[in-house]
Amino acid sequence: MKIFILEDQPTRIEWFVTAFADHRVVVANDAGLAMQILSNSKFDIIFLDHDLEGKENVSSLDTNCGMRVAAFLATQKEKTRVVVHSWNKAGVKSMIDVLKAADYKVEWKPFGDFNKKILYN
């Protein structure tokens, strides 16, 4: 399985890489890089954080946040499963709303509330 992860926290990145060691994992730590990767590659599942750059409770209007990536995904024809793993409830709502409106299968699983079994649900 090919997995994409948008995450900026090194400990979380380490968790994902370890938990999904049997899969191909691609990680980006900022929105611009994420969109570049997602525009050139297909993934089986995409994990998105909202708050980046070590910040917390970032506005969804921020130019470097998961909402920017969610809005980009909403314009794509290919609809990949998306898991939003952010703890920023307002950001999560914005991301899920835009992805659902674009017919994505999207769910919210705050980081720490899931394990690698999520891949098979």
Encode the chain (121 residues) as per-residue pLDDT tens digits.
999 999 999 999 999 999 899 999 999 999 999 999 999 999 999 999 999 988 888 888 889 999 999 999 999 998 999 999 999 999 999 999 999 999 999 999 888 766 555 665 5
| Domain formed by 2-120, architecture | 3-Layer(aba) Sandwich (3.40)
Tokens 């969804």 -> residue: 60
Of 91, 99, 93, nearest to 46 by C-alpha is 99
Q: Which amino acid is at 26?
A: V
Distance (Å, rounded) from C-alpha 101 to C-alpha 90? Answer: 17
Residue 119 has a pLDDT of: 60
Residue 114 has a pLDDT of: 63
Length of the chain: 121
Q: Which residues contact 101 (CB under 8 A, 6 or more apart)?
A: 74
Distance (Å, rounded) from C-alpha 27 to C-alpha 31? Answer: 11
Residue 92 has a pLDDT of: 95
**Contact by Cβ (8 Å): 12, 37:** no
Q: What's the CA angle centered on 62, arms 104 and 71, to 5 degrees?
A: 20
